[in-house]
């Protein structure tokens, strides 16, 4: 089946819908990406045009297809112990005190395929006794959440995991899983995975001592970022920390959080 040309009016429809559903702003440069990723749904439904797919998405009751639409257009790039400065800061400035909250709670607010929350959990398990920490991992994409919960990764993904953590918290795959490794049950079972749309009111998750919100705001316009950070601030305990990506800033976004160093903020 030959994939049709993505017309401007259909591209504009997809732009508006992904912003409405997920708060994600996609400029005109993303037109080829949108066309390529949604082409799979044209083939699936045997459609002759993107306009026909627009009609399917226009039906408000078609929640399942709208979720697939979100999954296809959200980018999920991550790795274990990505941005080492954050994990080093946790280890040397936060987890080295005897007056830690019990339980100590961390939210990986856009966990993608799970490398981030598993990295957090390994560090917490190493530094805090089990049962005295909690990790919540969320993403808007149900597709990557399923992968996260499974905790199975190609062996080359293990390169940035400290050797002692690899031995303590990971299992080498055998037979059908040869060439892969799996996160141990001791870690996997302690993480709560949830589908959360950061562009909507948060579910009742409680308060956190650290929130990882890395490389999320780059997809949002300023108004959406302001609303998001207002909600994030409300989910932080007093003196709790927010970690963001190196290409992001809270300048002119909020006065509720103070920058400790680039990408690391603390609630007043």
Question: Hey, which residues are catalytic here?
Answer: 37, 139
User: Which residue, 37, 76, 75, is CA-closest to 53?
Assistant: 37
3-state SS, residue 129: coil
62's CB contacts (< 8 A; 6+ apart) are 56
Q: Exposed/middle/buried for 71, CB within 10 Å: 0-12, 13-18, 19+?
A: middle
Six-digit token pair at 49?
A: 């045009």
Q: 183, 170 in Cβ contact below 8 A?
A: yes
Q: How far apart are CA 227 and CA 224, in angstroms?
A: 5
Query: What are the φ and ψ backbone dihedral angles of 166, each rounded to 5 degrees?
Result: -60, -40
Q: 235, 106 in Cβ contact below 8 A?
A: no
Ramachandran bin of 239, using left for φ above 0, alpha for ψ from -120 to 50, beta for the remaining angles: left
Where does the chain have alpha helices with state H?
8-22, 31-45, 50-58, 63-73, 84-89, 115-127, 142-150, 163-169, 185-188, 222-234
């Amino acid at each position: 089946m030959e994939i049709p040309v993505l017309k401007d009016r259909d591209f504009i429809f997809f732009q508006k819908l992904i912003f409405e559903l997920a708060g994600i702003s996609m400029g005109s440069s993303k037109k080829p990406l949108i066309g390529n990723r949604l082409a799979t749904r044209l083939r699936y439904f045997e459609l002759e045009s993107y306009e026909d797919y627009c009609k399917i998405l226009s039906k408000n009751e078609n929640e399942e297809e709208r979720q697939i639409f979100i999954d296809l257009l959200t980018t999920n790039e991550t790795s274990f112990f990505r941005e080492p400065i954050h994990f080093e800061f946790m280890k040397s400035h936060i987890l080295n005190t005897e007056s830690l909250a019990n339980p100590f709670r961390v939210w990986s607010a856009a966990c993608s395929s799970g490398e981030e929350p598993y990295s957090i959990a390994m560090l917490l398990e190493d530094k805090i006794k089990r049962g005295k920490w909690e990790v919540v991992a969320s993403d808007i994409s149900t597709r990557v959440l399923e992968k996260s919960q499974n905790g199975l990764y190609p062996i080359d993904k293990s390169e940035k995991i400290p050797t002692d953590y690899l031995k303590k918290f990971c299992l080498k795959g055998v037979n059908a899983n040869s060439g892969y490794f799996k996160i141990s049950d001791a870690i996997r079972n302690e993480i709560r995975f949830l589908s959360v749309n950061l562009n909507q009111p948060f579910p009742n998750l409680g308060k956190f001592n650290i929130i990882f919100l890395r490389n999320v705001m780059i997809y949002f316009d300023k108004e959406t970022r302001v609303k998001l950070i207002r909600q994030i601030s409300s989910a932080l305990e007093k003196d709790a920390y927010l970690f963001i990506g190196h290409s992001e800033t809270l300048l002119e976004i909020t006065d509720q959080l103070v920058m400790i160093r680039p990408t690391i903020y603390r609630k007043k």
